[in-house]
């Protein structure tokens, strides 16, 4: 996305294998076929999708603005939402739009179960549960707040409650604790670690900055087509 929006800038990916398994669940050829089956549907793709899938989409969205993007689409239109079925479910409930979910999921968020959450709540009965919308609907149903990474951090910062159970990738604990040194945060599951994100180490970042490689280069035709969906997202919010 950074390279599509700013082709004149150098965009580095310090570890070439650090892709997103969620994005890989929506291969471009399958998405093309689905779009042919649903010619009237508006296609909304989460930014965690490939550049080619973005180029096939009408709108992009983030977890922070998915509901706003869906609400901007006329209510009578069907929306093909991809690649995350859990974010699609959350967006459909909040926006009251007719959403056809693509059957993908983030392996890290999808592994959090209702039972994990119930156990965490028993251990920390005073804590509020804050989860990311990539979690299963059964988990989201138990949450006090559902939002993006930034939304979760802001919620904790703006709230007087001192204890929180967190249902998202464990990397969030660093900024959460930094921003809220007097509050207590507990993981809903210790297993919520994205192995792909963890492939990017400080050493690899340093190496990448020194060598200025590997660079992300999006072919120009795909970049130009993807810009439409990304710019629409930016205009709406």
Which stretches of the chain bind ligand SF4, using CB under 6 A?
A: 20-22, 48, 106-108, 169, 194, 196-197
**CA–CA separation, 122 and 46 (whole Å):** 34
Backbone angles phi, psi at 108, to 5 degrees: -70, -45
* Partners of residue 115 on adjacent β-strands: none
CA dihedral defined by 28, 192, 154, 204, rounded to 10 degrees? -70
Nearer to ligand SF4, 46 or 164 (CB): 46
CB of residue 183 vs ligand SF4: minimum separation in angstroms?
Answer: 23
Q: How far is the CB of 230 from ligand SF4 (least distance, A)?
A: 18
Cβ proximity to ligand SF4, 58 vs 169, nearer residue: 169
CB nearer to ligand SF4: give 197 or 236. Answer: 197
CB of 176 to ligand SF4, least distance (A): 16
By beta-carbon proximity to ligand SF4, the closer residue of 107 and 184 is 107
Closest contact distance (angstroms) between CB of 228 and ligand SF4 is 23
Render 99-137 in DSSP notation, one character per residue.
EEE-SB--HHHHT--HHHHHHHHHH-TTPEEEE-TTS-H
Which of 176, 173, 171 lies closest to 194 in space, CA to CA? 171
Identify the burial level of 158 via C-beta atoms within 10 angstroms of its C-beta, where 0-12 means exposed, 13-18 middle and 19 or more buried: exposed
In the complex with ligand SF4, which residue's Cβ is closer, 62 or 226? 62
Minimum CB separation from ligand SF4 for residue 165, in Å? 18
């Amino acid at each position: 996305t950074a390279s599509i929006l700013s082709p004149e800038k150098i965009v580095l990916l310090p570890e070439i294998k650090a892709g997103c398994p969620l994005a890989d669940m929506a291969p471009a050829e399958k998405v093309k076929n689905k779009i042919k089956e649903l010619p009237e549907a508006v296609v909304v793709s989460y930014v965690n999708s490939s550049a080619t899938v973005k180029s096939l989409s009408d709108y992009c969205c983030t977890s922070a603005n998915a509901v706003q993007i869906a609400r901007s689409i006329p209510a009578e239109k069907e929306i093909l939402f991809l690649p995350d079925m859990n974010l699609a479910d959350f967006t459909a409930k909040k926006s009251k739009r007719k959403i056809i979910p693509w059957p993908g999921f983030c392996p890290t968020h999808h592994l959090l179960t209702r039972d994990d959450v119930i156990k965490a709540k028993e251990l920390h009965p005073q804590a509020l549960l804050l989860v990311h919308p990539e979690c299963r609907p059964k988990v989201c149903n138990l949450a006090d707040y559902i939002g993006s990474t930034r939304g979760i951090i802001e919620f904790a910062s703006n709230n007087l409650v001192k204890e929180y159970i967190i249902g998202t990738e464990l990397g969030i604990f660093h900024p959460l604790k930094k921003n809220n040194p007097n509050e207590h945060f507990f993981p809903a599951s210790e297993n919520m670690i994205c192995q792909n994100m963890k492939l990017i180490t400080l050493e690899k970042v340093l190496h990448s900055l020194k060598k200025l490689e590997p660079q992300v280069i999006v072919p120009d035709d795909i970049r130009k087509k993807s810009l439409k969906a990304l710019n629409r997202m930016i205009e709406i919010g």
